Amino acid sequence: MLRTFLLYLSERETPKKLLTRHSWGRRLAQRFIAGEELADALGVVRQLNQDGFEVTLDYLGEAVHEPAAAEEACRAYIEILDHLAQDGLRSHISVKPTQLGLAIDESLTVRLLRSVCERAWLHHTFVRIDMESSAYVDATLRVFRALEAPRDSLGVVIQSYLYRSEKDVDELLKEGAYIRLVKGAYKEPPDVAFPRKKDVDRSFQKLMETMLASGLYHAMATHDERLIGLAIEYARAHKLGPERFEFQMLYGIRRRLQRDLLKQGWRVRVYVPFGRQWYAYFMRRLAERPANLFFLMRNFFRQ
């Protein structure tokens, strides 16, 4: 119930204004967000790299409805890629297709993402196209395919809560795509997504094993210790070393687990979001674990 309500609020303007206009809102969000400015994010990336983590940087923003805003996001990503390269930081980028205009015009997204990818190729780095709500999955996969990018420079995301994902994974593997597997963070109806967590987890495990068996380089993006344990078990049984796949986790979540995996010799990439458009991202993090809400409020009032 609370999850559904928080996801509903994540798309509403009034609570967004309330939270983002006040410094206390920013203080609450800082547990999950690296800051509002690029300089804040670069500092976090530097520290994570020093600690042994790889990073993927997300310039927050989504559901853009003006072409000018999509163009602005494209320029921002190009600037980010230049800064990462100049500073010698080990970080990919993660891009939301609706931030590059997918809700306006698919060809605009292809054009803008192509510009971002060209700059990423120049710097020998990697672009991940995040996956948003189910309404955008077909269009996102079309954009990914239209770019015809080398597989080690552009990848996609598959969500285990969608019924269609098994078929999508099979097709993407045939095309040699590098995939990030996640459970899925949006509010989806039961005719497109498994309503029960148990089924989402079972689907994750199945897709994960298919992906690990493919011989391609994929990312297992979860904080679920049981599924991470199963990935490690599978990797050991099939002699897959840390160079064959990576774990990914979100900034500020299960930090001890992130460090433990690193200590065990696995490759861990932290997804670091930054920017002023943090509201929807922050609300999805609360929805994943509504206990966060009480935890954050308690800490907030203690400060």
Which residues of this chain interact with ligand FAD, rule CB under 6 A? 130-131, 157, 159, 182-186, 221-224, 248-250, 253-254, 271, 285, 288-289, 292
Give the nearer residue to ligand FAD in terms of CB position, either 140 or 214.
140
Pure H helices in 186-239: 197-212, 225-237
Q: 94-106: buried (b, 16+ CB within 10 Å) or exposed (e) per residue?
A: bbbbbbbbbbbeb
Q: How far apart are CA 105 and CA 97, in angstroms?
A: 11
Q: Least Å distance between CB 264 and ligand FAD?
A: 18
Encoded tokens for 209: 């094993």
Q: Least Å distance between CB 54 and ligand FAD?
A: 11
Give the nearer residue to ligand FAD in terms of CB position, either 294 or 301.
294
- Nearest-CA neighbor of 204 among 173, 171, 172, 166? 166
Q: Least Å distance between CB 242 and ligand FAD?
A: 17
With the C-alpha atoms ordered 272, 277, 280, 285, is the resulting torsion angle positive or negative?
positive
Q: Least Å distance between CB 292 and ligand FAD?
A: 5
Give the nearer residue to ligand FAD in terms of CB position, either 3 or 244.
3
Q: How far apart are CA 246 and CA 231, in angstroms?
A: 10
Q: Least Å distance between CB 45 and ligand FAD?
A: 14
- Nearest-CA neighbor of 31 among 230, 226, 297, 302? 297
Q: Give Cα 296 distance to the centre of its chain.
A: 22
Active-site residue list: 130, 180
- Nearest-CA neighbor of 138 among 161, 173, 167? 167
| Cβ 105 vs Cβ 138: under 8 Å | no
Give the nearer residue to ligand FAD in terms of CB position, either 109 or 248.
248
Give the nearer residue to ligand FAD in terms of CB position, either 86 or 216.
216
Let me know if 182 is exposed, middle or buried by CB neighbors in 10 A (0-12, 13-18, 19+). Answer: buried
